[in-house]
């Protein structure tokens, strides 16, 4: 997994998409592209059906970093991008909002696969 | 990176119809037949009413949809492909063609298989509109009525998306298929829809919410697998359809959650839901069992040579194939382990991984559905009730595949046919259930009001209040 892509999943479940996750996905992808047009960082921004942390959306998960960000808004995107491309630091203020079992199920789902 | 969106054209699109007169004319010829189908088989009545609808107007950065009051026959059904994820040459990520540039035209030897995949997907879109055409009359609120019509118009747009592919890439055979899509009818014994679950009547709003939770979700996973396709137009078409589909699944998931919430409120107050026209939990469970198990069958057999071929030819990938999570993008030299039953004895079998593609997709679906049921149970927890709903295992009530024709309880233990029949009324809805639910389906069309069997949503659509005038009747 270590040499694989770094995956940034934006939830596009019903509640998150009602809060604007589709637009947030596009903006996040565009800002990463603006700062790393050659994708040297090997980051892929993808949509994910739903993580189940609906009350805390918009949810964004970074894998394999195991970061589960909640209540993410457009205003947070520059900080998320900086975390991904520059400092690598987990954003604590966006973390730890969903139930622990929701986080665990999500990381289990992402880890499985042949 | 962002394509040009022509919103002024007769058919809004970002596929360059303006410069493609042959396809434009063909689609403009198909358009009146589509509108006639919508008139005949789309939502019954409500044609003169203004519905607060979302309309896709583009892809990419800066927003993709507009909201506004629209009469449904005037809805602007468009054709949109997602923009490519990366600039430059894109490569196929799985199957025997892995590493080749993605195909902008369908290779000749794959035409028949690709056409069948597209037609099977396309047929579900008008089918669901037909199944739901009478529901507006018994809407539990104008908020829910608006959601129903939103789902309907977007399923119509998905038909447009698929018909574009048929016209553009499959010549006269594609045009014939596009016409057939408007001729088949859900539930018509002489000319039914392709997949059985899409010939099943959606009699009431419980069934509608179960359909959008479980059956539409199958559609989502099928679209996600097609979104990985080496055939680039198919991949990008389905990627955009997935964006709209998310709302449909929310309608179902939140709809059942709201029904459970109303039931929980009553139970907490010591009121029997049946006494006040609400939905008792055992009845909700039977609907869950019915619609989830019917939806499992939509994935096809767990051991499938067709699925293997679709993967081998790089037409249909695994769920999240492009994420690079799979150790072997060729899916060779690996097996999928599952259980079968021979003479009542359970034993493990190994299926070559390529032949197990349907099973893998179904597993991902089941994990997602499990999460949803856990969410519904949180509602019961919040009301400090000990009762829970559950999701039946993949063996329950199957008509096809490894467990088709065998008998299992919802927990997956094999039982005799007689034992199943004795429990049938406990596990699956019977006529009395349908009749009870039908009796509860009384229209509530006043702003901000909801039928007694469903709780209001916590928030409205597009930041509007819950009591917004989602439907303006004329």
CB A41, CB A31: distance < 8 Å:
no
DSSP B116-157: HHHHHHHHHHHHHHHHTTTGGGG-SSHHHHHHHHHHHHHHHH
Choose among A4, A47, A114: nearest Cβ to B334. Answer: A114
Choose among A7, A12, A18: nearest Cβ to B243. Answer: A12
- The CATH topology of domain B17-472 is Ribonucleotide Reductase, subunit A (1.10.620)
Residue B328 in contact with partner chain A when CB distance is under 8 A: yes
pLDDT by residue (tens digit) across B313-339? 999 999 888 887 787 889 998 999 999
Quick one: residue A113, left, alpha or beta (phi over 0 = left, psi -120 to 50 = alpha)? Answer: left
State the Cα–Cα distance between residues B224 and B245, nearest whole angstrom. 11
- Residue A78's H or E segment, with its range, is helix A77-82
Q: Which residues of B touch A110 (CB under 8 A)?
A: 325
Beta strands in B8-63 (DSSP E): 50-56
Q: Which residues of A touch B459 (CB under 8 A)?
A: 18
User: What is residue A9's predicted lDDT score, i.e. its pLDDT?
Assistant: 94
Domain of A87, CATH number, reads 3.40.30.10
Instruction: Establish if A107 belongs to a structural domain.
Output: yes
Instruction: Establish if A22 belongs to a structural domain.
Output: yes
User: What is residue A112's predicted lDDT score, i.e. its pLDDT?
Assistant: 63
Buried b (16+ CB within 10 A) or exposed e, B366-392: bebbebbbbbbbebbeebebeeebbbb
State the Cα–Cα distance between residues B23 and B27, nearest whole angstrom. 6
Contact state of B220 with A49 under an 8 Å Cβ cutoff:
yes
B456 DSSP 8-state letter: P
User: What is residue A1's predicted lDDT score, i.e. its pLDDT?
Assistant: 39
- The owner of tokens 């034993």 is B347
CB B116, CB B174: distance < 8 Å:
no
User: What is residue A51's predicted lDDT score, i.e. its pLDDT?
Assistant: 82
Q: Which of the residues in chain B have pLDDT under 70?
A: 1-2, 59-63, 85-88
Instruction: Establish if A1 belongs to a structural domain.
Output: no
- Residue B339's H or E segment, with its range, is strand B335-342
Q: Alpha carbon of B161 to those of B164, B226, B235, B240, B467: distances in Å?
A: 5, 13, 12, 9, 33
pLDDT by residue (tens digit) across B44-77? 989 999 999 999 877 666 567 889 999 999 999 9
pLDDT by residue (tens digit) across B148-181? 999 999 999 999 999 999 999 999 999 999 999 9
Choose among B254, B325, B461: nearest Cβ to A113. Answer: B325
DSSP B209-277: HHIIIIIHHHHHHHHHHHTT-SBHHHHHHHHHHHHHHHHHHHHHHHHHHHHHHHHHHHHHTT--GGGGT
Q: Which two tokens stand for residue A99?
A: 């139930």
Q: Closest Cα to residue A60, out of A3, A4, A6, A114?
A: A6
**The total number of structural domains that make up chain A:** 1
User: Which one of A39, A49, A77 would you mutate to disrupt binding with B, by most B Cβ within 10 Å of its Cβ?
Assistant: A49
Q: Closest Cα to residue B318, out of B278, B261, B359, B264?
A: B359
The residues in A 57-96 lying below 8 A from B, measured between CB atoms, are: none
Instruction: Establish if A85 belongs to a structural domain.
Output: yes
User: What is residue B348's predicted lDDT score, i.e. its pLDDT?
Assistant: 95
Give B336→chain A minimum CA distance, Å.
9
CB B124, CB B195: distance < 8 Å:
yes
Contact state of B63 with A113 under an 8 Å Cβ cutoff:
no
Instruction: Establish if A106 belongs to a structural domain.
Output: yes
Q: Closest Cα to residue B143, out of B51, B252, B253, B244?
A: B51
Choose among B250, B320, B327: nearest Cβ to A14. Answer: B250
Q: Closest Cα to residue B151, out of B199, B206, B194, B213?
A: B213
Q: Which two tokens stand for residue B310?
A: 């679709």
Per-residue pLDDT of chain A (114 residues; tens, 9 = 90+): 346 788 999 998 878 888 889 889 989 999 999 998 878 888 989 888 788 788 898 999 999 899 999 999 999 999 999 999 987 889 999 999 998 878 887 887 777 654
- How many degrees, rounded to 5, is the angle at CA A11 between CA A66 and CA B102? 95
Q: Which residues of A touch B85 (CB under 8 A)?
A: 44
State the Cα–Cα distance between residues B130 and B193, nearest whole angstrom. 10
Task: State the average pLDDT for chain B.
Answer: 93
Contact state of B327 with A113 under an 8 Å Cβ cutoff:
yes
Is residue B53 classed as helix, strand or coil in its secondary structure? strand
Q: Closest Cα to residue B470, out of B45, B54, B44, B39?
A: B54
Instruction: Establish if A43 belongs to a structural domain.
Output: yes
Residue B449: cis peptide before it, omega within 30 degrees of 0: no
* Residue B215 burial (CB count, 10 A): 24
Contact state of B242 with A47 under an 8 Å Cβ cutoff:
yes
User: What is residue B143's predicted lDDT score, i.e. its pLDDT?
Assistant: 97
User: What is residue A53's predicted lDDT score, i.e. its pLDDT?
Assistant: 84
- The owner of tokens 């014939």 is B176
Phi/psi at B116 (5° precision): -65, -40
State the Cα–Cα distance between residues B307 and B356, nearest whole angstrom. 7
User: Which one of A50, A55, A105 would you mutate to disrupt binding with B, by most B Cβ within 10 Å of its Cβ?
Assistant: A50
Quick one: residue B27, left, alpha or beta (phi over 0 = left, psi -120 to 50 = alpha)? Answer: alpha
Strand partners, A11: A48
Q: Which two tokens stand for residue A60?
A: 């964004």
State the Cα–Cα distance between residues B263 and B62, nearest whole angstrom. 41
Q: What ranges do the domains of chain B cover?
A: 17-472
């Amino acid at each position: 997994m270590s040499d694989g892509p770094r995956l940034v999943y934006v939830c596009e479940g019903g509640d998150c998409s009602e809060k604007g996750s589709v637009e947030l996905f596009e903006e996040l992808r565009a800002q990463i592209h603006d700062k790393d047009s050659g994708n040297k960082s090997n980051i892929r921004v993808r949509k994910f059906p739903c993580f189940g942390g609906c009350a805390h959306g918009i949810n964004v998960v970074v894998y394999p970093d195991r970061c589960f960000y909640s209540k993410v808004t457009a205003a947070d995107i520059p900080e998320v991008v900086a975390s991904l491309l520059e400092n690598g630091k987990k954003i604590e203020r966006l973390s730890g909002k969903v139930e622990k079992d929701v986080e665990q199920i999500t990381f289990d789902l992402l880890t499985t696969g042949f | 990176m962002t394509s040009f969106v022509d919103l002024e054209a007769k058919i809004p699109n970002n596929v360059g119809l303006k410069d493609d007169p042959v396809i434009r004319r063909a689609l403009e010829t198909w358009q009146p037949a589509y509108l006639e189908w919508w008139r005949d088989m789309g939502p019954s009545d409500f044609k003169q009413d203004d519905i607060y609808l979302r309309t896709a107007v583009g892809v990419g950065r800066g927003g993709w949809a507009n909201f506004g009051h629209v009469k449904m026959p005037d809805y602007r059904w468009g054709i949109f492909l997602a923009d490519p994820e990366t600039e430059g040459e894109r490569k196929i990520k799985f199957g025997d063609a892995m590493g080749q540039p993605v195909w902008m035209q369908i290779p000749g030897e794959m035409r028949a298989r690709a056409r069948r995949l597209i037609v099977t997907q396309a047929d579900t879109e008008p089918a669901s509109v037909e199944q739901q055409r009478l529901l507006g009359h018994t809407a539990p609120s104008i908020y829910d009525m608006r959601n129903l019509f939103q789902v309907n118009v977007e399923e119509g747009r998905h038909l447009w998306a698929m018909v574009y592919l048929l016209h553009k890439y499959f010549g006269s055979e594609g045009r014939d298929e596009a016409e057939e899509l408007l001729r088949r009818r859900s539930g018509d014994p002489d000319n039914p829809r392709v997949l059985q679950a899409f010939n099943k009547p959606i009699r009431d709003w419980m069934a509608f919410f179960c359909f959008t939770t479980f059956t539409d979700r199958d559609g989502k996973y099928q679209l996600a697998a097609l979104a990985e396709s080496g055939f680039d137009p198919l991949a990008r078409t389905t990627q955009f359809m997935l964006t709209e589909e998310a709302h449909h699944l929310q309608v179902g998931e939140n709809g059942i959650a709201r029904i459970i919430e109303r039931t929980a409120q009553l139970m907490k107050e010591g009121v029997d839901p049946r006494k006040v026209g609400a939905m008792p939990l055992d009845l909700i469970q039977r609907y869950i069992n019915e619609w989830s198990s019917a939806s499992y069958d939509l994935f096809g057999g767990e051991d499938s040579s067709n699925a293997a071929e679709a993967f081998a030819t790089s037409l249909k990938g695994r769920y999240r194939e492009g994420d690079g999570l799979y150790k072997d993008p060729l899916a060779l030299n690996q097996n999928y382990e599952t259980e079968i039953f021979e003479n009542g004895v359970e034993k493990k079998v190994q299926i070559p991984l390529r032949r197990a593609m349907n099973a893998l997709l179904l597993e991902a679906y089941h994990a997602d559905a499990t999460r949803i049921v856990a969410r519904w149970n949180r509602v019961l927890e919040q009301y400090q009730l000990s009762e829970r709903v559950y999701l039946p295992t993949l063996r329950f009530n199957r008509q096809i595949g490894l467990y088709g024709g065998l008998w299992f309880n919802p927990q997956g233990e094999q039982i005799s046919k007689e034992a199943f029949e004795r429990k049938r009324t406990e596990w699956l809805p019977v006529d009395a259930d349908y009749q009870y639910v039908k009796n509860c389906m009384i229209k509530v069309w006043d702003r901000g009001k909801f039928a007694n069997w469903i709780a209001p949503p916590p928030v409205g659509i597009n930041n509007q209040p819950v009591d917004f005038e989602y439907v303006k009747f004329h």
